[in-house]
Amino acid sequence: MPKPTADNVSWSCAILSDFKRARIKEKIEDSSKKSNPERIWNPPRLSTLKLNVDAAVDEVRHHFSIDGVLRDKQGRLLLVFGKQINQPISVVHGELLAIREGIILLHDKGFTDVQVATNSSLAVQAVTTTRDDIGYTGLCATDIRERTSEYGMSELIHVRRSANSVAHSIARFAFDSLSPFV
């Protein structure tokens, strides 16, 4: 069921507000760490875009949300997506679903050469190593490997949780979304 236009505007304003707060925090923390090579958000290579993804769990309501934030080298917001997952899954599976959802969406929108970043080293490991895992996590990782190869996505990397603050904010925001948003 589509949301009325007024709701879409208020949702967009809330997402942009969260994005701006997280960006201000990134700039403050980044400027205080100029001598520290561990920056909060690292831009992608020159011709590459960066998709930060995250999954969050709402332990009270027992469900997940997944999201992604696509930015260019200057950190400008290009695309945001998010949705609830109302089924019991593991945190790693949630991260894998966020990666998968992101690469499918970007492919459908015509984006290529995208660096995908997650704060789950286990999700990166699941995708980058081939095992005979036939569970949901293994099947999702295999699907991601096949799609990234077919779609021309450049790489999947692990980032610190602090480097994923914008994506995490959007994932928390998605808990209250009654329908998926892009």
- Report pLDDT for 103: 94
Q: Is the pLDDT of residue 35 over 80?
A: no
Confidence class of residue 164 from pLDDT cuts 50, 70 and 90? confident
Average pLDDT value over all residues in the chain? 80
CATH number given to 5-174 = 3.30.420.10
- Report pLDDT for 118: 93
Residue 24, classed as helix, strand or coil, is: helix
Share of the chain above pLDDT 90, in %: 35
Most trustworthy range by pLDDT among 1-10, 53-62, 119-128: 119-128
Full-model pTM: 0.77
Q: Is the pLDDT of residue 29 over 50?
A: no
Q: How far apart are CA 102 and CA 111, in angstroms?
A: 11
Most trustworthy range by pLDDT among 45-49, 61-65, 130-134, 174-178: 45-49
- Report pLDDT for 28: 45
- Report pLDDT for 38: 47
Place of tokens 């699941």: 126
Q: How far apart are CA 158 and CA 171, in angstroms?
A: 17
Q: Which range is least confidently modeled, 21-25, 110-114, 169-173, 178-182? A: 21-25
Confidence class of residue 14 from pLDDT cuts 50, 70 and 90? low
HSE-up (13 A, CA, CB side) for residue 9: 3
Confidence class of residue 20 from pLDDT cuts 50, 70 and 90? low
Q: Is the pLDDT of residue 41 over 70?
A: yes
- Encoded tokens for 13: 């304003």
